[in-house]
Amino acid sequence: MEEDAPVKPPIAFATRFSNQLQRYRTLLFKFWWIPLLTTLVGYQIQSYLLKKTAPKYASAGRMIVNVKLSIPNANVYSEEFNYFYGTQVALMQGDTVMNRVQAKLQTEHPELHRVPVQIEVGLSPKTSIFNLRAVGEDAEYTQNYLKAVMDEYINLKHELLANASSATQSSMAEELKNIGGELQRAKDAMLQYQSSNSVVFLQASGGNNAADYLAELTRQLARRRSELHQLKTLTLDQNLERLQQIAMTHKAVTETNTAASTGAPKNWDGNDTPFNLGTFEEAYLETKRQLLLLKANRDELTNTLVATAPLMVSLSEKIDHQENQLVIYRQQSEEQLKNRQRTLELQVEDLENQVKEWETKAMDVSKKLAVFEALKENVKRLQSAYDQMQASLQTLDANKGIGQESVTVLEPATPMGEVALEAQKHLIMSALIGLFLGVAFLALIGHFDDRINTFTELEQKFNLPVLGQIPLLEKTGILKSDDDRHPLVEANRSLRSAFLYKDSFKQEPVTKRLKTIVISSACPNDGKSITSANFAFTLAQGGARVLLIDADLRRGVLHKLFSVDAARSGLSEVIGGQVEWELAVAPTDIPNLSLMPRGKIKRHAGNAFAASDQLLKKIESHYDFVIFDSAPVLVADDVLSLAPHLDGLILVVRAGVTPARMAQAALNQLQQRNVNVIGLTFNAVNTKAGDYYHYRYPEYYSEMPT
C-alpha cells in the first residue's frame, strides 16, 4: 500500500448533506415497504379499536362561584386568590366529590347501570363561571352523574366553609388568649421594675437630674481648671489686673440687676471668683499707683529743682517708703495668690471626684429609664395587637353564617347528546404515528448499515484514490468492440487512463511501470470478475498486449464470460506443473487479449501462489500487462499469497453492497503483507446518485442529424 498517498481535503458540508440525503433516499427505495407496513398496521389497529369502542354521551352544566372576603386585616386566614380557581377545579374532580357522587347514585338510582364517567372542568375567560362536561357510555347515568357532582361540590364547599369559620374563630380566640397573657406578664414586669428602681421619683423630678447635676459639675470643673491655669501662667500684676477687671464687671452686673429689681446674685455669674480683691491686693495696687504718681512728680520737678532741694528730698523719701511698702504688699499678695492656687487645686480635685461619681449615677439612671421605656413600649405593642385581634374576632363572630363564597348552579345538567368519535382524525393520527415509526426504523437501519452507497462516502472513508466509477446498467456482461453501452465503455476507459497515468504527476521519474495487476474485492458478488474482464478489454483495445488470468481457482467464471471450454487446461494445471503456461493460454475474439482460464478447481491454491515468482517472470516478459482475477480477500488466502509477488492490486467496492468495515478489514490484511494497493474501483454505481456526474448525456453518443 502506498505510504506517500496525498491527504485528501475535507469534504464540503453541502456535499456531505447531499450524500446523506442520497443515502437515506436509497434506503427508502430499498426498504419502501417498511414505512408502508407500519402505516398500514397503525391504521388497522386504530380501526379495530374504533370498532370496539362503545358510543359515548355527554352532558354539560355551568356553575358560578362568587368570592367574598369578610375578615378585614386577616390575610393569613384567606386563600390566595391566584390559586383559588385551580383549587375549585381540583375539588370538583377530587376523590372526595367522586366518592360521594357514586354513593349518592347507588342510593338514589340503584337501577342505573354504572359506567366510567369522565368529568371535564373549564373556566370561562375573565369570569368565575365553571363549565362542567360529563362524558360516559350510558346517557342517563352520565347526566345524573353530572347533577350529583354539582350538588356534592356545593355541599362540600358549605362543609369546608363552616369548618374553616369555626377553625378560624377557634384559632383567633386561642391567639387572643395568648396575647392577653403575654400582655399581662408585660404589665407585671413593668410595674415590678418601676417600683424596685424608683422610676416614679426619677420621672417626677424631671427625668435624669443626675445628668443635669453632672453637667453643672463639669462646667464648674472647667472654670476651676481655667482659673488655676491662669494663676500658674500669669504674673502677679497680670493676675491682679485680671481680678480687678472681673470685680469691676461683677459690680456693673450687680448694679444692673439691682436697677432692674432682680436682686443681686449670690455668686459670680461666670468665673466663680471673689467679687472684691483682698486687703493686700488692693493695698498693693494702691501703693503701686501712688508710687507711679510720686515718680511722675519727681520727674517733673527734676527740670526745675536740684536733687538737694527739700521738696525733692521729701519726694525721694516718700518714694523709698512706697517702694518698701510695695515690696511688703507684693509679698503678701503673692502669698494670697498661692493660697488661692492651692484652694483651686483642692477644688479641682474634689470636683473631679464628684464628676466620676455622678457619671456612674447618671449612667445608671439612664439605663433604668431606657429599660423602663422598653417595657412600656412592649406593653403598648401588645395592647395594640390585643385590641386589633379582639376587633377581628368580633367581626368574624358577627359574620358567622355569612359564607365567604356563594356557589350557584347557573345551568343544570343538559340532556345527553352522543359524542362524535372523530374517527377520521384518530385514523390519520395513527397512520402518521405508524409512518413515523417506519421512518425511525429506516433511520436506525441507516445508522447501523455501513454499506457504501455514493462516491463521496467512499472517498470519505478511505484514504485511497478512486480510479473509476462503473455504472449500474440493465444490460450486463463484458464489453464488445461495437458495444453501444456508452456509459459503461467510457467508465472503463476512464479506469484505464487513471491506471496508466496514476503516477504522472510525480516530479521524480517512475522507475518501473506497473505490469502485473491483481483485481480483487473484500467479499463475493462485488463484480470483480466483470471488472477484470472489462479492464483487460480496454487495455487491449488501446493496443497493449494483455493476458487475463483467472486466479480464482475455486469459483472462477472468466471462461464462461469468454466462451472458453471449461475442460481446457488453465492456471491450476500450470502452477501444478502439469502443463506449460503457453499451452494454458487461450485466444479470445478481442485483438491483443488472451485468456488463461482457471482450469481444474483447486481447493488449496494458496500454497501454490506462494511460490509463483518464476512463473510470473516467464509470463510478464511476453505481455505488456498481466491482469489477475483473484478470489475475494476475506474469503481465501489466495490473493494474500499472490498479491505480494505482483506490481499492484485494485480493490473493487460494490455500491450499496460492500460494507465499509469489510473493505477496511481487507485493506488492513493487504497492508500487513506490504501489498501495493493502487486504488479503488467503485462498481455498480447508481447513475442517479447526487455525486455521479459522468455519462449522463446519452444524446452525446447519438448520431449527428443529417
Instruction: Supply the DSSP string of 214-260, one letter for each residue.
Output: HHHHHHHHHHHHHHHHHHHHS-HHHHHHHHHHHHHHHHHHHHHHHHT
> Facing residues of 466 across strands?
680
603 pLDDT exceeds 80? no
Segment 618-643 shows an average pLDDT of 89
Segment 214-237 shows an average pLDDT of 82
In this predicted structure, what is the pLDDT of residue 172?
78
Phi and psi at residue 387, to the nearest 5°: -65, -40
440 pLDDT exceeds 80? yes
In this predicted structure, what is the pLDDT of residue 392?
77
Q: How many helices (H) and strands (E) does the chain have?
A: 21, 13
Statement: 57-165+399-416 belongs to CATH 3.30.70.1130: yes
275 pLDDT exceeds 50? no
Grid cell listed for 41: 398496521
270 pLDDT exceeds 50? no
264 pLDDT exceeds 50? no
CA count, 13 A, side-chain hemisphere, 145: 28
Rounded-to-integer distance, Cα 609 and Cα 638, Å: 7
Grid cell listed for 584: 494454458
Q: At what angle do helices 139-196 and 95-108 cross, to 10 degrees?
A: 130
Q: What is the pLDDT of residues 457-475, one digit of tens each?
A: 888 889 899 999 999 888 7
Give all strands of the β-sheet with 466-471 in edge-to-edge order: 466-471, 677-685, 648-654, 516-521, 625-629, 546-550, 593-596, 586-587
Grid cell listed for 526: 462485488
In this predicted structure, what is the pLDDT of residue 10?
61
309 pLDDT exceeds 90? no
Grid cell listed for 58: 355527554
DSSP state of 656: T
Q: At what angle do helices 236-259 and 209-233 cross, to 10 degrees?
A: 140
Q: At what angle do helices 423-448 and 13-30 cross, to 10 degrees?
A: 110
Among the ranges given (381-385, 493-497, 604-608), the one the predictor scored with the smallest mean pLDDT: 604-608
Q: What is the pLDDT of residues 631-662, one digit of tens each?
A: 999 988 888 888 888 999 999 999 888 999 99
In this predicted structure, what is the pLDDT of residue 190?
79
Q: How far is CA 93 from CA 96, 112, 355, in A?
A: 8, 22, 81
555 pLDDT exceeds 50? yes
- 546 three-class SS: strand
C-alpha radius of gyration, the chain, whole number: 64
CB 561 within 8 A of CB 478: yes
In this predicted structure, what is the pLDDT of residue 13?
66
Distance of CA 316 to the CA centre of its chain: 113
- 368 three-class SS: helix
Rounded-to-integer distance, Cα 615 and Cα 624, Å: 16
Among the ranges given (89-93, 275-279, 399-403, 450-454), the one the predictor scored with the smallest mean pLDDT: 399-403
CB 664 within 8 A of CB 558: no
579 versus 25: the higher-pLDDT residue is 579
In this predicted structure, what is the pLDDT of residue 697?
54
CB 544 within 8 A of CB 592: yes
442 versus 62: the higher-pLDDT residue is 62
In this predicted structure, what is the pLDDT of residue 503?
67
Q: What is the pLDDT of residues 449-458, one digit of tens each?
A: 788 888 888 8
375 pLDDT exceeds 50? yes
- 411 three-class SS: strand
96 pLDDT exceeds 50? yes
Segment 241-249 shows an average pLDDT of 74
Element (H, E) at 559: helix 558-561
In this predicted structure, what is the pLDDT of residue 652?
95
What is the pLDDT of the chain when averaged over all its residues?
79
> Which has the closest alpha carbon to 557: 522, 593, 531, 590?
531
Rounded-to-integer distance, Cα 92 and Cα 247, Å: 101
Top-confidence range, 1-15, 124-138, 580-594: 580-594
448 pLDDT exceeds 80? no
704 pLDDT exceeds 60? no
263 pLDDT exceeds 50? no
- 643 three-class SS: helix
Segment 200-225 shows an average pLDDT of 72
Q: What is the pLDDT of residues 478-537, one digit of tens each?
A: 888 888 888 888 889 999 999 988 765 454 555 567 899 999 999 998 989 999 999 999
Q: How far is CA 576 from CA 587, 612, 619, in A?
A: 22, 11, 16
DSSP state of 451: B
Q: How far is CA 415 from CA 61, 108, 146, in A?
A: 10, 19, 11
Among the ranges given (252-261, 318-327, 512-521, 538-547), the one the predictor scored with the smallest mean pLDDT: 252-261
Top-confidence range, 64-68, 356-360, 642-646: 642-646
Segment 677-699 shows an average pLDDT of 73
- Residue 130 — pLDDT band, cuts 50, 70, 90? confident
> Which has the closest alpha carbon to 639: 647, 649, 627?
649
Q: What is the pLDDT of residues 170-211, one digit of tens each?
A: 777 788 788 888 888 888 887 887 777 766 555 555 455 677
> Facing residues of 67 across strands?
405
Per-domain boundaries in the chain: 31-53+421-448, 57-165+399-416, 209-398, 455-475+489-495+515-695
Q: Which residue shows C-alpha cell 453643672?
A: 216
684 versus 50: the higher-pLDDT residue is 684
Segment 30-59 shows an average pLDDT of 80
- Give the CATH number of domain 455-475+489-495+515-695; options: 3.20.20.70, 3.40.50.300, 3.30.590.10, 3.30.365.10: 3.40.50.300
DSSP symbols for 603-628: S--HHHHTT-HHHHHHHHTT-SEEEE
Among the ranges given (207-221, 260-274, 411-425, 553-567), the one the predictor scored with the smallest mean pLDDT: 260-274
Rounded-to-integer distance, Cα 522 and Cα 528, Å: 10
Q: How far is CA 554 from CA 494, 535, 602, 640, in A?
A: 30, 22, 6, 15
- Residue 689 — pLDDT band, cuts 50, 70, 90? low
CA count, 13 A, side-chain hemisphere, 521: 21
DSSP symbols for 379-410: HHHHHHHHHHHHHHHHHHHHTTTS-SEEEEEE
Among the ranges given (200-209, 489-498, 580-589, 591-600), the one the predictor scored with the smallest mean pLDDT: 200-209
Rounded-to-integer distance, Cα 602 and Cα 600, Å: 6
> Which residues have a Cβ under 8 Å from the Cβ of 681 and sit 6 or more positions away?
466, 467, 468, 469, 470, 495, 519, 531, 650, 651, 652, 653
Percent of the chain beyond pLDDT 90?
13
Contacts of 81-85 spanning 24+ positions with Cβ under 8 A: 85/123, 85/128
Q: End-to-end CA distance of the chain, in Å?
A: 52
Rounded-to-integer distance, Cα 41 and Cα 407, Å: 50
- 468 three-class SS: strand
267 pLDDT exceeds 50? no
In this predicted structure, what is the pLDDT of residue 12?
64
Rounded-to-integer distance, Cα 608 and Cα 619, Å: 16
Among the ranges given (76-85, 276-285, 488-497, 582-591), the one the predictor scored with the smallest mean pLDDT: 76-85
In this predicted structure, what is the pLDDT of residue 628?
94
Segment 364-376 shows an average pLDDT of 80
57 pLDDT exceeds 70? yes
- Quick one: CA torsion of 101, 107, 109, 112, rounded to 10 degrees? 80
Taken in order 530, 535, 540, 545, the sign of the CA dihedral is negative
Percent of the chain beyond pLDDT 70?
79
CB 541 within 8 A of CB 487: no
